Amino acid sequence: MLKAQLELEKFRWMMIMLVPALAVSLNIIMFGSAYWSQVNILFLSSLLLLVCIALLSAIQIFIANYMRSRQTTEWKLIRRMLLAACIHFPVTGIFVAGYLLLYDYLNLFGYRLSTPDLKWGLLAGFVCDVIGIAMNESIYSYHKWKETKLEAEQLSKEKLQTQLNSLLQQINPHFLFNSLNTLSALIDDNPKDAQNYLSDLSKVYRYLLRTNENELTSLANEINFIDSYFHLLQTRFGKGVKLLQSIQPDDYGKLLPPLTLQLLVENAVKHNTVGKNKPLVIEITTSGDYLTVRNNLQRKTLKVESSKVGLSNIAEKYRLINKSAIEISEAEGYFSVTVPLIGSGA
- Let me know: does 225 contact 258? Beta carbons within 8 Å: no
Can you tell me the distance from the alpha carbon of 197 to that of 61, in angstroms, rounded to the nearest whole number?
72
Q: What is the pLDDT of residue 176?
A: 67
Count Cβ neighbours within 10 Å for each residue of 257-273 and write b for 16 or more, e otherwise: bbbbbbbbbbbbbebbe
Residue range 204-230, pLDDT digits in tens: 777 766 765 677 889 999 998 898 888
Q: What domains are there in the chain, each with its CATH number? A: 2-152 (no CATH), 190-340 (3.30.565.10)
- Average pLDDT for 133-145: 75
Can you tell me the distance from the alpha carbon of 57 to that of 143, in angstroms, rounded to the nearest whole number?
19
- Average pLDDT for 82-111: 84
Of 312 and 248, which is predicted with more confidence?
A: 248
Q: What is the pLDDT of residue 5?
A: 47
Can you tell me the distance from the alpha carbon of 68 to that of 62, in angstroms, rounded to the nearest whole number?
10
- What is the pTM (predicted TM-score) of this model? 0.50
Phi, psi of 95 (to 5 degrees): -65, -50
Percentage of the chain beyond pLDDT 70 is 80
Provide the pLDDT confidence category of residue 8 given band limits of 50, 70 and 90: very low
Residue range 23-77, pLDDT digits in tens: 888 888 888 888 888 888 888 888 888 888 878 777 777 777 676 666 655 556 6
10: pLDDT strictly greater than 60:
no
Of 236 and 260, which is predicted with more confidence?
A: 260
Q: Which amino acid is at 229?
A: Y
3: pLDDT strictly greater than 70:
no
> What is the average pLDDT value for the chain, to the nearest integer?
79
Q: What is the pLDDT of residue 283?
A: 96
Of 298 and 212, which is predicted with more confidence?
A: 298
291: pLDDT strictly greater than 90:
yes
Neighbours of 243 (CB within 10 A): 19
Least confident of 9-13, 95-99, 335-339: 9-13
Least confident of 100-109, 121-130, 301-310: 301-310
